[in-house]
Structure 1
Amino acid sequence: MLIYAGKKLLQMLVTLFGVVTLVFFAMRLIPGDAASVMAGENLSGAALERMREQLGLNEPLWAQYLDFMGNLLRFDFGQTITTNLPVSKLLLSALPITITIAVCTIALAVLIAIPLGTLAAYMANKGKRWLDNALTWVAMVLDLMPSFWMALLLMLLFSLTLKWLPATGPIQFDDMGLLLKRLALPIVILAIGQVATLARIARTSVLEVLNEDYIRASRALGASEMLVVFRHGLRNALLPIITVVGLSFGNLLNGTVITEFIFALPGAGTLLVNGINSRDYPLVQVVILVYAFIFIAVNLLTDLVYKKFDPRVQF
């Protein structure tokens, strides 16, 4: 396992290097730069060039790239161009919000989707297709709904009409009640799409296992249906579900970008959107690097967890 983990870590470093390089050059292909965005229509010509020189944007592209990579190797994330604040400080204040939303979303989705998908597979195995068909149709409808449209719809219902949950406001980790109310809508919106996907995967995986010979043997030996379905069936069907859960966590980082922007949450997604709009190259590059690191690390952890749930897995 150590050799396998070492190979994966090496692949992670290569992937992160590719992500950083791609983002660095892609950002500079966008028309305009931080100086032109900050100056607007007030500066032009020589004054604009002096501002670019002050911000270090007039250096050759290769020199900027080498300077950024050198700072990155020293774990020096630099400062934002527009506000001159340390990027690391902004990330440390924003990442807890994004990670809290992602973890709570995955937990809620798993608690709902896996029992629902398992029940649908059991009903289909018994020839009772109504719940199976209902789950399939609901999952398809939920997958087709855009998250931003659902966010606006639930905001209109629960925030503006019923006034149960706030759509905006401060984030306070010392008050769990207020924090849960503030993050409830974003978590529910993100979890709806994850529930649809996880339930379908759980249903397909468990249904395939329930047709195996050892399941029939367990029933013939007099084991209860709950024991057969959840201990023998679900446990042996967990590998595809674990894979999707790991991928879903990474995809949630993308989903939180839109959701945080809609609900005015000061998370990493909001930092990314503001950085792109202001052409703040250091901020965008570091945020995407952190996103890529979390995504790769979660997938590595998912691979290592396989052995825990299925001893047959060989690295």
Structure 2
Amino acid sequence: MLTYSFKRLVQLLVTVLGVVTLVFFTMRLIPGDPISAMAGDSLSGAALDQMRNQMGLNDPLLVQYLGYLARLAVLDFGSTVTTKLPIIELIVGALPITVSIAIGTIILTVLISIPLGTVAAYMAHKGNRVLDNIITGIAMVLDLMPPFWTSLVCLLIFSLTLGWFPASGTVSIDDPVALLRRVALPVLVLSMAQVATLARITRTSVLEVLNEDYVRTARSMGWSELHVLFRHALKNAALPIVTVIGLSFGNLLNGTVIVEFIFTLPGIGNLLVGGMNSRDYQMVQTLIVFYAMIFVVINFATDLIYRVFDPRVQF
């Protein structure tokens, strides 16, 4: 266990370093820089060069890269180039919104998709192909709908037409009711694609184990079909489901960027979009590293959770 954890930790660090390197050099290949974005047409070329020298943007790329790695190693995230605000304070202020959306999406996805996929597998096992095809077809349609399109449709229907949820406005964690109403639509939008994927994986995994000997033994002992289905079949089919939940977290992070921007939510995704628009290297690099670290930590936790569902799993 310790050896496995150490190896995974090394892989985590290498992954984060690769992401940092890729983002650092890719950002500097984009035409323009934060100084030009801030100054617009109000400063001359000499003034722009002076500001770039002050901020170290005229240094060789290797010097800038090594300096950034040195600051990152001591968790010095610095300040934004455009506003000079501490990046860590901006992240702490925006994190509760993104966490609320992510947790709500995961909970809603699991509560809907796993029972739906399990029932579809049971119907297919019993030969009821009509209901199985309906559930699978709906899941595929939901999976094909892009989040930005779904966001706009939900905004048009539930906010502008029906007025059930606010389309904009301030967000504060001190008012849970207002926060819940503001994040309800983003959670619904992100859950649609997640539900579709997880329901299909659950159906396939459960269907594969319904003919196993232990399922027939449970039935012969007089257990109800619901008990056999959810207590025996689903538990033994849980490993692929847990894997997909962990891997889908990456898609969830991408989705939060889109829905936060469309629904004007002051979360991490909105900070990232604002940093990219203003060519704020420091902000974009820090946020992408933050996303990468969350992603690899979730994957690492997913591997450890395998032992909870199947003690036979060896590290």
TM-score after normalising by structure 1: 0.98
Equivalents in 2 of 1:128, 1:198: separation in Å? 21
Give the residue type in structure 1 aligned to 2:164: W
- Report deviation, 1:220: 2.5
CA distance in 2, matches of 1:85, 1:124: 57
Residues 58-111 of structure 1, C-alpha deviation per residue, up to 9 Å, x if partnerless?
111111111111111111101100000111111111122112211110110000
Deviation for aligned residue 1:187: 0.4
Please give the per-residue CA displacement for 1:170-207, whole angstroms capped at 9, x wherever unaligned.
11111111110011000000001111011101111001
| Gap runs ≥5 in structure 2 | none
* 1:305 equivalenced with 2:305 (yes/no): yes
Instruction: For 2:81 and 2:232, locate their aligned partners in 1 and report how far apart those are by CA, in whole Å.
Output: 57
The whole-number CA distance in structure 2 between the counterparts of 1:4 and 1:10 is 10
Check conservation: 1:257, 1:268, Cα contact below 8 A.
Answer: yes
Task: Note the alpha carbon deviations across 1:15-65, whole angstroms, 9 max, x for none.
Answer: 111111111111000001011111212223212212212322111111111
Percent of matched pairs sharing the same residue: 64
The gaps in structure 1 that reach 5 residues or longer are: none
Which residues in structure 2 correspond to 1:250-265 (within 5 Å)?
A: 250-265=250-265
CA distance in 2, matches of 1:239, 1:160: 42
Say if 2:68 is the partner of 1:68. Answer: yes
Q: Which amino acid aligns with 1:177?
A: V
Amino acid aligned to 1:38: M
Q: Is the 8 A contact 2:24 2:65 kept in 1?
A: yes
Cα distance in 1 between the residues matched to 2:267 and 2:196: 25
Q: Distance in 1 between matches of 2:89 and 2:242?
A: 33
Does residue 13 (structure 1) correspond to residue 18 (structure 2)? The answer is no
- 1:272 paired to 2:264: no
Aligned length: 315
- Per the alignment, residue 245 of structure 1 pairs with 245
What is the RMSD of the two structures over their aligned residues, measured on CA atoms? 1.0
Give the Cα–Cα distance (whole angstroms) in 2 for the partners of residues 96 and 290 of structure 1: 14
| Matched position secondary structure for 2:32 | coil
Q: In structure 2, how many angstroms separate the alpha carbons of the residues matched to 1:111 and 1:273?
A: 31
Which residue identity lines up with residue 102 of structure 1 in the other structure?
Answer: A
Q: Secondary structure at the match of 1:205?
A: helix
* Distance in 2 of aligned mates of 1:36 and 1:136: 51
Tell me what 2:100 maps to: 100
Task: Give me the whole-angstrom Cα distance separating, in 2, the residues matched to 1:311 and 1:107.
Answer: 25
In the TM superposition, 1:2-81 aligns within 5 A as 2-81=2-81
Hey, what does 1:227 align to over in structure 2?
227
**Structure 2: distance between partners of 1:217 and 1:305:** 27
Corresponding residue of 1:130: 130
Tell me the amino acid that sits aligned with residue 314 of structure 1: Q
Post-superposition Cα deviations, 1:206-237, rounded to whole Å, max 9, x if no partner, equal 01110212212222232211111111100000
